[in-house]
Structure 1
Amino acid sequence: MPTDFTQLSLDLAQLCRETAKFIRQEAASFDRGKVQQKGVSDLVSYVDQETEKLLVAGLRRLLPEAGFITEEGTTGADTRAEYTWIIDPLDGTTNFVHGLPCYSISVALLHHSELVAGVVHEVAQDESFRAVRGGGAYCNERRIHVSDVAELSGSLLATGFPYSKFDRLDAYLAVLGQFMQSTHGVRRVGSAAVDLAWVAAGRFEGFFEFNLNSYDVAAGLLLVREAGGHITQFLEDGDPLFGREVVASNGRIHQAMQATIAEFWA
């Protein structure tokens, strides 16, 4: 049983840093013909699967008693009561496949129902974002904080586009249109983990997206919280980790973001 989550997070960051080297190596000669499709716009490659195997092997050395929630399912149904690793081995697979340099490794540790450590490693820029419950958030060992912008009109937001379950598309587009008119702009980076890390670092003031999975957001949620930000579901506090929708912000614009979403999201 770990007693020092800070040291565990440092070890986790090093594991992600080493694993990122494999992804960069594969990116240099990646063959798009080897891509599989879960859906029209939901892609998976051997790089996702092999990266997950490397991470799982390393995490088992770090914390043998922990179970796993993984995107690619390489561990099978392996969840346990006390500690659970939540892993997205390559968040932004579509970017990776098309050669767009923004994709990440996201790993978080859940203790019962509480996130206690997390790392988002943005592979192309080799930026390591790390957080520990009660211990703050860091980027490459530099302490980070959310921005101090207080008005929606001075904010830059991030979002993600749905790639399945388009039944809420009209409402989402209405929300997006309103934010486009009331902020400095809305960006679609292509990795929810990176979006959340960049909210934590003060690069974005806010982020919103729906149809998310726990492995997309787990590490990023902890980063935002530890950097001084706020996280809810679209219309209420709810459960952003498993609730499939997230509003994350610097806290100062959070009420305005939720009020804007509430105009169209019922």
Structure 2
Amino acid sequence: MGVPPKALDIAVTAAKEAGRLLLFHHRKPLRIKIKDNNPRNLVTNADTEADAAIRAVILGSFPCHTILSEESSHEGREYTWHVDPLDGTTNYSRGGDYFCTSIALAKGRDIILGVIANHLSGETFTAVKGEGAFCNGKKIRPLEIAGLGEAMVCVDSGYSIGRRMHTFELAKAIAGAKAVRMKGSGALSLCEIATGRVDAYLHMGSKAWDYAAGAIIIREAGGIVTDLHGREWLLDTSESVLAAGSKQVHRQFLSAIAKLVGQE
């Protein structure tokens, strides 16, 4: 597996250092810019400061590693860190509570550890490949439910109008779910699947830094992460993310979407 010594501890330290800055700026005036000429895609000074703090911690211990972040990149080799210093920027920019920091480490294309920190709740979710998933040191598992009709499902629509419209169309497939929520932090939603608070998640479009940590946390907890067609979610998957806590819910979710788009 090849997890570098103390890599998990370093990732947790980096996430907590980011959290210190994010909590300092929370509900205070922010400098807000738009990214990629998209007024729905925001970045704040808190994002960039948290990103710099994470980079300093990681590169201080692993100077030859690569860092790929939503806010920056650093060239390296073999090991790559996938970082979102602030997942849920729009929520955060309005003083909302649903945001986190997400950090994952991959060796080649293999995700080997993940850390997601919910700074306001004080919950830190961790996973190392082959060792299970934990929240504040306590092992976590998804909730086993009968099927999609009993499921609480989270959906995120992203920043593209086209993808939003597609997401809303696909959401018809889960109209019969017990509850549907749109929370605005995919990384936290994946952690909620791993703990049994949520049962499934759908998002059209994905970046490795958004979902790498959540993917290993869910899988180590016993859940499933694929794309919309049921193929294993990988670091280079860009089309979609579909996650579920149980095979039954995942299978029914895929089937409902396939029927909706006329694939069955």
**1:178 deviation in Å?**
3.0
**1:210 deviation in Å?**
1.1
C-alpha separation in 1, matches of 2:164 and 2:182: 16
SS in 2 for 1:186: strand
SS in 2 for 1:178: helix
Aligned to 2:47: 48
**1:3 deviation in Å?**
5.2
**Change over 3 Å in CA distance of 1:121–1:136 after alignment to 2:** same
Amino acid at match of 2:218: V
Matched, 1:200 2:197: no
C-alpha separation in 1, matches of 2:155 and 2:234: 15
C-alpha separation in 2, matches of 1:196 and 1:140: 16
SS in 1 for 2:96: coil
Matched, 1:131 2:127: yes
Aligned to 2:245: 250
Q: 2:32 aligns with which of 19, 32, 35?
A: 35
Aligned sequence identity (%): 27
Amino acid at match of 1:133: K
The answer to whether the Cα contact below 8 Å between 1:42 and 1:163 also exists between their aligned partners in 2 is yes
Matched, 1:182 2:191: no
The answer to whether the Cα contact below 8 Å between 2:18 and 2:51 also exists between their aligned partners in 1 is no
Aligned to 2:58: 59
Give the TM-score of the pair, scaled to structure 1.
0.91
C-alpha separation in 1, matches of 2:27 and 2:196: 31
**1:71 deviation in Å?**
0.7
**1:79 deviation in Å?**
4.5
**Change over 3 Å in CA distance of 1:148–1:57 after alignment to 2:** same
The answer to whether the Cα contact below 8 Å between 1:171 and 1:264 also exists between their aligned partners in 2 is no
C-alpha separation in 1, matches of 2:168 and 2:25: 35
Matched, 1:96 2:92: yes
| Superimposed CA distance per residue, residues 182-233 of structure 1 (whole angstroms, 9 cap, x where no aligned partner) | 1111111111110111111111111110122111101000000000001110
C-alpha separation in 2, matches of 1:84 and 1:103: 23
Task: Return 5+ residue gaps in structure 2 as ranges.
Answer: none
Q: How does 1:114-263 map to 2 (within 5 A)?
A: 114-164=110-160, 166-179=161-174, 181-244=175-238, 245-251=240-246, 252-263=248-259
The answer to whether the Cα contact below 8 Å between 2:83 and 2:209 also exists between their aligned partners in 1 is yes
**1:169 deviation in Å?**
4.1
SS in 2 for 1:40: strand
C-alpha separation in 1, matches of 2:106 and 2:26: 30
C-alpha separation in 2, matches of 1:129 and 1:238: 22
SS in 2 for 1:203: coil
SS in 1 for 2:168: helix
**1:64 deviation in Å?**
2.4
**1:167 deviation in Å?**
3.0
Amino acid at match of 1:255: R
Provide the aligned C-alpha RMSD in A.
1.9
The answer to whether the Cα contact below 8 Å between 1:120 and 1:220 also exists between their aligned partners in 2 is yes
Amino acid at match of 2:203: E
C-alpha separation in 2, matches of 1:234 and 1:137: 24
**Change over 3 Å in CA distance of 1:229–1:11 after alignment to 2:** same
C-alpha separation in 1, matches of 2:162 and 2:117: 32
Amino acid at match of 1:115: I
Task: Return 5+ residue gaps in structure 1 as ranges.
Answer: none
| Superimposed CA distance per residue, residues 153-194 of structure 1 (whole angstroms, 9 cap, x where no aligned partner) | 111011101211x33444422221331x21111111111110
**1:242 deviation in Å?**
2.2
**1:17 deviation in Å?**
1.8
Amino acid at match of 1:54: A
Amino acid at match of 1:208: L
**1:260 deviation in Å?**
1.4
